[in-house]
């Protein structure tokens, strides 16, 4: 369970500087997907061992009409959904009226809020920060986001207790009901040689997409199928609803971000769309089903959700919904647009469906199963090595500064998604085009579909 941090504060206090520092990724995996626009306001962070979702709420400057204006709505929702709020102030500029307005709003909310005084570098921090005690939100945490100073201590003091609490909650779930806990807590061990982890665990399938693409309709359609047996699962949080189900003797847990099962009647208000809920669902899923709307085309919002799915390394299936009642000309036009905007994702299966009429919905599960099987497939070192040698023989790596890059050895680095570690000389200088070539070579040779493959390069033997 990932905790959520919301960053609030008036413009120019350093929110995006802190955001960037927290989300800056340090891993050297081949995971760049050209053509992707990123939503910079939501990020998955791994900082000093702390994993969390961070939201730069951006929108609040305290001057909005009662703050509750439409413009600030997503920001307010983010605050509501956050575990903690870091309220940034500028130690150099001193306290402003906007700071006081924001503080007043936060004090009314029953939310753990902390004052973070930024830009404390090169000034007498203690005396500059003293006035912020008037905001009546407790201790002042001093940082210099631009230099990273105080950031670890900040997380320890603010997020540390939450992390401990969440771990305790997970323990409680485990103790209260083993069978339910099984659905949440996934064992990390790899399956036996030659097998996939496929047989024994329910596949957690998150249905995500922006508002109105048809997530609820699709979820209801799936749950209404004759072959589907749905179990009742008690206890929910503010998060997505988990719906255990069996289909063709295979177990799944639908992670319902649209809140279908929470609604008593079809006419009940539709759940508010929430990016945080979606991010958490992605994090917890084995396979992500991204729903897009054929009639609306691919929007930037679709691409940011897609970006999160890709970043998470989860398996992915894409459903292009509302494919009913379109004439052939329009269908062709939509297909070429999808190709143009999504062509860079070569591993995910694309399905054209109508959630309303049920067309194509059953086939989705073929791809979901395939994606999960691919992600958990166990491959031997000998096999990985052989494929590497074949790829190198078919198309040798380029010369870099007059010397040929040489791949020497490969082994498995993990599953879910499959990770392959390749050792060799000058491997860090391999151009992206060759990295992509290797990735596609492995994909074809291992028949892996629906999941990204990550290749990690290490210098030397």
Footprint of ligand GDP on this chain (CB under 6 A)?
A: 9, 11-17, 118-119, 121, 144-147, 209, 211-217, 258, 270, 321-322, 324, 354-356
Nearest to 174 by CA among 186, 165, 182: 182
**What is the closest distance, in whole angstroms, from the C-beta atom of residue 54 to ligand GDP in the complex?**
13
Structure tokens at 207: 């249905």
CA pair distance 142, 125, nearest whole angstrom: 8
Ligand-binding annotation for 69, yes or no, is no
State which residue, 266 or 393, has the beta carbon closest to ligand GDP.
266
Residue 359, exposed/middle/buried by CB under 10 A (0-12, 13-18, 19+)? middle
Structure tokens at 309: 């799915």
State which residue, 147 or 408, has the beta carbon closest to ligand GDP.
147
State which residue, 14 or 59, has the beta carbon closest to ligand GDP.
14
CA pair distance 156, 225, nearest whole angstrom: 48
Ligand-binding annotation for 14, yes or no, is yes
CA pair distance 84, 87, nearest whole angstrom: 10
Ligand-binding annotation for 60, yes or no, is yes
Ligand-binding annotation for 408, yes or no, is no
C-alpha count within 13 angstroms, C-beta hemisphere, residue 374? 29
**What is the closest distance, in whole angstroms, from the C-beta atom of residue 384 to ligand GDP in the complex?**
40
**What is the closest distance, in whole angstroms, from the C-beta atom of residue 89 to ligand GDP in the complex?**
10
304, 39 contact by CB (below 8 A) = yes
Ligand-binding annotation for 331, yes or no, is no
41, 56 contact by CB (below 8 A) = yes
CA pair distance 167, 288, nearest whole angstrom: 25
Ligand-binding annotation for 210, yes or no, is yes
Neighbours of 441 (CB within 10 A): 18
**What is the closest distance, in whole angstroms, from the C-beta atom of residue 119 to ligand GDP in the complex?**
4
Ligand-binding annotation for 335, yes or no, is no
**What is the closest distance, in whole angstroms, from the C-beta atom of residue 189 to ligand GDP in the complex?**
36
State which residue, 60 or 375, has the beta carbon closest to ligand GDP.
60
State which residue, 330 or 390, has the beta carbon closest to ligand GDP.
330
Q: Hey, CA dihedral for 78, 83, 85, 86, is it positive or negative?
A: negative
State which residue, 22 or 388, has the beta carbon closest to ligand GDP.
22
For residue 417, cis peptide bond before it (omega within 30 degrees of 0):
yes
Ligand-binding annotation for 374, yes or no, is no
**What is the closest distance, in whole angstroms, from the C-beta atom of residue 201 to ligand GDP in the complex?**
27
DSSP 359: B
Which positions make up the binding site for GTP?
A: 9-16, 56-60, 118-121, 209-216, 256-260, 321-324
Residues of each annotated binding site: 9-16, 56-60, 118-121, 209-216, 256-260, 321-324
């Amino acid at each position: 369970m990932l905790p959520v941090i919301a960053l609030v504060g008036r413009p120019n206090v350093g929110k995006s500087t802190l955001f960037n520092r927290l989300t800056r990724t340090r891993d050297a995996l081949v995971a760049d997907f050209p053509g992707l626009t990123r939503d910079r306001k939501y990020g998955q962070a791994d900082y000093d061992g702390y994993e969390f979702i961070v939201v730069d709420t951006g929108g609040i400057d305290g001057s909005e009409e009662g703050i509750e204006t439409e413009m600030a709505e997503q920001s307010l929702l983010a605050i509501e959904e956050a575990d903690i709020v870091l309220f940034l102030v500028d130690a150099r500029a001193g306290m402003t009226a906007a700071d006081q307005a924001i503080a007043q709003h936060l004090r009314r909310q029953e939310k753990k809020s902390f004052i973070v005084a930024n830009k404390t570098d090169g000034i007498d921090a203690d005396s500059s920060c003293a006035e912020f005690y008037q905001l009546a939100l407790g201790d002042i945490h001093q940082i210099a986001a631009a230099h990273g100073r105080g950031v670890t201590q900040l997380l320890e003091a603010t997020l540390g207790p939450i992390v401990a609490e969440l771990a305790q909650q997970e323990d409680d779930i485990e103790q209260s009901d083993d069978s339910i806990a099984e659905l949440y807590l996934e064992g990390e061990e790899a399956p036996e040689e030659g097998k996939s982890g496929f047989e024994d665990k329910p596949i957690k399938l998150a249905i995500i997409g922006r508002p109105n693409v048809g997530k609820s309709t699709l979820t209801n359609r799936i749950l209404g199928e004759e072959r589907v047996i749905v179990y009742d699962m008690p206890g929910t949080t503010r998060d997505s609803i988990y719906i255990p189900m069996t289909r063709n003797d295979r177990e799944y847990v639908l992670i319902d971000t649209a809140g279908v099962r929470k609604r008593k009647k079809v006419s009940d208000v539709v759940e508010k769309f929430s990016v945080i809920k979606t991010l958490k669902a992605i994090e917890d899923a084995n396979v992500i089903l991204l729903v897009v709307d054929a009639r609306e085309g691919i929007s930037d919002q679709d691409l940011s959700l897609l970006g999160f799915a890709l970043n998470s390394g989860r398996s992915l299936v894409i459903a292009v919904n509302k494919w009913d009642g379109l004439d052939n000309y329009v269908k062709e036009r939509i297909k070429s647009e999808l190709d143009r905007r999504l062509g860079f994702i070569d591993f995910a299966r694309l399905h054209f469906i109508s959630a309303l009429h049920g067309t194509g919905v059953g086939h989705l599960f073929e791809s979901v199963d395939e994606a999960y099987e691919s992600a958990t497939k166990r491959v031997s070192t000998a096999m990985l090595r052989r494929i590497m040698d074949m790829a190198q023989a078919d198309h040798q790596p380029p010369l870099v500064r007059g010397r040929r890059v040489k791949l020497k050895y490969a082994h498995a680095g993990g599953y879910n998604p499959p990770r392959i570690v390749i050792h060799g000389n000058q491997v860090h200088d391999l151009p992206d085009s060759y990295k992509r070539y290797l990735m596609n070579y492995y994909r074809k040779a291992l028949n892996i579909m629906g999941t990204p493959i990550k290749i990690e390069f290490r210098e030397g033997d």
